Each structure stands twice: as C-alpha cells, then as structure tokens.
C-alpha cells in the first residue's frame, strides 16, 4: 500500500482519490473549497461527440470519459448508496438553418461507429423540438443525440467524498502547500495552481450561469440538455421548472466571483430567446473559474518538483474527470492504462 496526498478536491482530485482508495491505497485529500471551484459551478453536460474541436488527444480523453460514465456512476452509487444526479436524457443541438443542421448531422453521426455509447443521432424538424422540450423555441432545426447526459457537480463531489471515506481514505478541509506533503503528491488545484508552481502554466476563465425558473410547470430534470447556438447551452437544474443557461467566457487573472449585472442581463436576454413564450424568473447567477492550459489540452504528469499534476481540464472537465481518476490511479499503482498518459504529460 502506497501513501498519496492529494491537494485540491474538485473533480480531478476527488476522482483520483476515489479510484486510488478503491485499490486499497492510503489516500488523504486536502481541499479548501475556494469560492469559484469549477466543479461546484459546472453545468455538467456529458456530450463530447457534438464538439467541432479537432484535437485528437483531447477527443480520445473525453470520448473515453463519456464511455466510462454509466459504469462509474453505477459503482459510485452502489458504494455510497446515494444518487449522484446523473441522467442521460439526450441532447438537443440547435442550428441556425437547415443547411448547417445537415452538415452537423453528417459530422456527428460519422462518430457513431467508434462511439456506440452516443446512441442514435437524428435530425429534428423545427416543429418536433417541442415534443422533447415543451417550452423551448421552435425557431431552429435540431439534431438529437440520444446518449447526451448531465451530472450535478455538487452531488457528484458529495458522493466521491463519501466514496473516498468508505474505502478508508481521509478528506480534510485545509489549505496546504503541496511541496510540504507526504508520500506521492498529486496537485489538482484548478485555477489556483499558480500559487505553488508555474509549469504547466494554468490560466482561467470566469464563467457565469444564470439560474432561472419558467413561469409554467415543466419537468426540468426530465428534459434533454440543449446545446444552443454558439457557446450557449441550457440545462435542467432541479425539480419542477428550474433551468440554467450559460455561459460567459472571460479570460481573467482575477479570482473574484462577484456576479456581473451586465452578464446577467445578457444571459437573461438569451434565456428569453430560447423560451420566447413563457416568463422567466431569474433566481441567481453562479460563477466558476475554469482552469485551462495554453492549448486547452489537460495536463497529466509530473512537474519539475516531482509532483504529479492534473490540471487544465477546461470546459469538459466533468466529462473527463472520472476517467482521468481511473487512469491516474492505475498509472500510479503501476498498472496498465487504457489511455496513453504520455499524451498529456507535456510542457509548453
Ligand atoms: C460554469 C461552468 C460550467 C461548466 N460546464 C461544464 C460542462 O457542462 N461539462 C463539462 O464536462 N465540464 C464543464 N465545466 C468544466 C469543469 O467544471 C472543470 O473543468 C472541472 O470542474 C475542473 O475541475 P478541477 O478539479 O480541475 O478544479 P476545481 O473544481 O476548481 O477544484 C480545484 C480545488 O482545489 C482547491 N485548492 C486549490 N489550491 C489548494 C490548496 N493549496 N490547498 C487545498 N485546496 C486547494 C480549490 O479550493 C478547489 O476546491 C464547467 C465549468 C464551469 C466553471
């Protein structure tokens, strides 16, 4: 049994801790739960197949991440006897017009053979969208991806923490310096990584989500996630008619998580565009800090201080987080991995 100290308890640290503890390793997590923790703020969409990003290493990671989710959730829920909020109601992807819908349909369905877990991919005429999402606009044609899913970041972290403890690990709410920790040190500090090391360089984006309620009965948790135009998406967030729309993307060096009135007005306007026939009651704006590397590929490997760093999970960290945990735990336990982790252990 080896000793591991994990500094940072977002999805990266929590998932690695869970998988190591499951193998019987001795694990202690230190997390100070900064305001702006990305995992807590996340929208939790698991649908990597619709992205237009071409980076193959990134795609291998998120594809394997989405593939692993159902088995991972089953195992975690059995261990903790607690729901994680995972649901797989599919994803409705909206497009500006029929031509772009057709191109997107061809691009997405071409990935099906290599990713059968994405389920069926179907074109939807504008008039059919409301059958799946009653109050959503019928202004745009869509593609429906059956395997699209969503996880609640907060519930997932609660379950992972419980799972770590159930497998004999420790979880402490503490601010620590990774250079002063015992055993093999795994540094998963998200946006705050620059406090203790500068390789790889981690930058962050401030991302805001507007949480709102529709002034009509709606089954938010039963509806598919919606990938709107550009970077906009809509997810159900709770029982009844509660949804969230986002996000904004602001590169910043600041760590403030105070919501901005300007962004709130912009997101409210976007919500009205997607739900044109119902009143929208704003509830709150949540702010998270997404950690990025320079080329947006996660970093997984040792740094110059011989600390194992996992960071830069970017905008798909909840998708990749569980499989990163599985792979890093296998690698650090001297076992074979499914992914080639050397692909992610680069320096700029
Ligand atoms: C608004 C928003 C929406 C998103 N939507 C999606 C989505 O739909 N799908 C998807 O796949 N991904 C999404 N993401 C991305 C995903 O949430 C992130 O990539 C992921 O959560 C990053 O996890 P992390 O563990 O690296 O960092 P974090 O979750 O930020 O965790 C880092 C933790 O380390 C702690 N820490 C730092 N330094 C120390 C120290 N010295 N001592 C102790 N603790 C320390 C911090 O307090 C924090 O708790 C979204 C992100 C945001 C912000």
Query: Residue 156 belongs to what domain range?
Result: 1-86+149-201+293-348
- Helices 11-22, 317-332: axis angle to 10 degrees equals 40
Rounded distance from Cα 120 to ligand 1 centre (Å): 31
Question: What is the Cα–Cα distance from 57 to 80, expressed in whole angstroms?
Answer: 32
Ligand 1 pocket residue status of 315, Cβ below 6 Å = yes
pLDDT in tens, the chain (348 residues): 899 999 999 999 999 999 999 999 999 999 999 999 999 999 999 999 999 999 999 999 999 999 999 999 999 999 999 999 899 999 999 999 999 999 999 999 999 999 999 999 999 999 999 999 999 999 999 999 999 999 999 999 999 999 999 999 999 999 999 999 989 999 999 999 999 988 899 999 999 999 999 998 888 999 999 999 988 999 999 878 999 999 999 999 999 999 999 999 999 999 999 999 999 999 999 999 999 998 899 999 999 889 999 999 999 999 999 999 999 999 999 999 999 999 999 765
Closest CA to 150 of 239, 223, 211: 223
Instruction: Report the SS3 class of residue 306.
Output: coil
Rounded distance from Cα 314 to ligand 1 centre (Å): 9
Ligand 1 pocket mutation, candidates 13, 41, 43, criterion most atoms within 8 A of CB: 43
Domain assignment of residue 256, yes or no: no
Question: What is the Cα–Cα distance from 106 to 129, expressed in whole angstroms?
Answer: 19
Give me the pLDDT at residue 347, please: 65
Q: Which ligand 1 atom is nearest residue 48's CA?
A: 11
Q: What is the CATH number of the domain that holds 333?
A: 3.50.50.60
Domain assignment of residue 340, yes or no: yes
In the DSSP assignment, the letter for residue 302 is: E
Domain assignment of residue 287, yes or no: no
Question: What is the Cα–Cα distance from 302 to 346, expressed in whole angstroms?
Answer: 9
Question: What is the Cα–Cα distance from 42 to 226, expressed in whole angstroms?
Answer: 15
Question: What is the Cα–Cα distance from 83 to 151, expressed in whole angstroms?
Answer: 10
Domain assignment of residue 220, yes or no: no
Domain assignment of residue 216, yes or no: no
Domain assignment of residue 105, yes or no: no
Rounded distance from Cα 293 to ligand 1 centre (Å): 13
Instruction: Report the SS3 class of residue 309.
Output: strand
E strand or H helix at 192, and its extent? Answer: none
CA distances from 67 to 80, 146, 192 (A): 21, 13, 29
Question: What is the Cα–Cα distance from 202 to 35, expressed in whole angstroms?
Answer: 18
Domain assignment of residue 282, yes or no: no
User: 287 with 258: CB under 8 angstroms?
Assistant: yes
Domain count, the chain: 1
Ligand 1 pocket residue status of 12, Cβ below 6 Å = yes
Rounded distance from Cα 6 to ligand 1 centre (Å): 14
Rounded distance from Cα 276 to ligand 1 centre (Å): 33
Closest CA to 210 of 158, 148, 275: 275
**Residue-wise DSSP of 244-288:** EEE---EEES-------HHHHHHHHHHHHHHSTTS-EEEEEEEEE
Phi/psi of residue 179, each to 5°? -75, -15
Those residues whose C-beta lies under 8 Å from the C-beta of residue 116, and which sit 6 or more positions away, are none
Bridge partner residues of 205 (DSSP): 251, 290
CA atoms within 13 A on the CB side of 168: 10
Domain assignment of residue 7, yes or no: yes
Question: What is the Cα–Cα distance from 137 to 127, expressed in whole angstroms?
Answer: 9
């Amino acid at each position: 049994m080896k000793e591991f100290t994990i500094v940072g308890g977002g999805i990266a640290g929590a998932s690695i801790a869970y998988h190591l503890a499951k193998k019987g390793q001795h694990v202690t997590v230190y997390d100070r739960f900064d305001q702006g923790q990305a995992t807590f703020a996340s929208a939790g969409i698991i649908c990597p197949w619709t992205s237009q990003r071409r980076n193959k290493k990134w795609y291998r990671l998120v594809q394997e991440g989405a593939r692993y989710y159902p088995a991972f959730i089953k195992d975690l829920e059995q261990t903790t006897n607690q729901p994680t909020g995972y649901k797989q109601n599919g994803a409705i992807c909206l497009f500006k017009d029929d031509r772009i819908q057709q191109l997107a349909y061809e691009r997405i369905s071409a990935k099906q053979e290599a990713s059968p877990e994405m389920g069926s991919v179907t074109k939807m005429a504008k008039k059919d969208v409301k059958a799946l999402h009653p109050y959503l606009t019928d202004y745009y044609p869509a593609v429906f991806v059956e395997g699209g899913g969503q996880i609640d970041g907060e519930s997932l972290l609660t379950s992972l923490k419980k799972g770590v403890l159930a497998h004999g690990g420790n979880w402490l709410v503490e601010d620590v310096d990774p250079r002063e920790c015992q055993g093999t040190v795994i540094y998963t500090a998200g946006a705050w990584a620059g406090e203790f090391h500068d390789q790889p360089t981690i930058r962050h984006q401030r991302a805001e989500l507007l949480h709102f309620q529709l002034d009509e009965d709606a089954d938010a948790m039963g509806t598919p996630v919606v990938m709107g135009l550009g970077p906009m998406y809509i997810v159900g967030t709770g029982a009844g008619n509660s949804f969230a729309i986002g996000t904004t993307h602001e590169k910043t060096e600041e760590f403030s998580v105070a919501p901005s009135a300007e962004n709130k007005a912009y997101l409210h306007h976007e919500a009205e565009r997607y739900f044109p026939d119902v009143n929208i009651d704003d509830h709150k704006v949540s702010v998270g800090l997404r950690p990025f590397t320079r080329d947006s590929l996660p970093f997984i490997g040792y740094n110059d201080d011989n600390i194992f760093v996992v960071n830069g999970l970017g905008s798909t960290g909840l998708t990749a987080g569980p499989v990163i945990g599985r792979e890093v735990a296998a690698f650090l336990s001297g076992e074979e991995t499914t992914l080639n982790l050397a692909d992610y252990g680069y320096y700029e």
